[in-house]
Amino acid sequence: MSFKEQLNNDAVLVFLNTREFAETVTYTAKGAAAKSIPALVTRQPISRAGEDAGRTLLNQVEIEIANDAENGVLSVNKGGDTVSLPDRVGGTDITWRVVDIIGQDEGMWRLLLQK
């Protein structure tokens, strides 16, 4: 197994384990059917820099999902893809739009969502 394959396996089997920290979300790629995938969710993330440092970004959520066709997605369409998840743990699902790709590597996508 190559290092890249191991990264993908770790992303799915360790980091995105729903028995640990991940939760199931519904990802809908633009023009495709919705699918349930595991995600690490950071609700109301802290601003990254500038005059708003230290403030929370209301109506925004960051998620980390697998860079994998079966357990995540292989490509992201900013502004076109949507994700359904609650804005608080235990709440009702809300549809969020993917507005930015914060990071991406062989194993994971880190995405910024907005209501």
Q: Domain ranges for the chain, please list them.
A: 3-114
Please state the length of the chain: 115
For 46-74, what is the HEC assignment? ECCCHHHCCCECCCEEEEEEECCCCCECC
CATH for 3-114 (3.10.20, 1.20.1270, 2.40.10, 2.40.230): 2.40.10
Smallest Cα–Cα separation from 36: which of 9, 16, 59, 11?
A: 16
- Render pLDDT for 3-62 as a digit per residue (tens, 0 to 9): 877 777 777 778 888 988 899 999 999 999 999 999 999 987 665 555 555 555 568 899
Dihedral of CA atoms 69, 30, 24, 57 in degrees, nearest 10, equals 120
- Render pLDDT for 92-102 as a digit per residue (tens, 0 to 9): 999 999 999 99
* Lookup: tokens for 60: 């925004």
pLDDT of residue 45: 66
Helix or strand holding residue 41 (H, E): strand 34-43
- Render pLDDT for 72-82 as a digit per residue (tens, 0 to 9): 999 999 999 99
> 107: pLDDT confidence band, cut at 50, 70 and 90?
confident
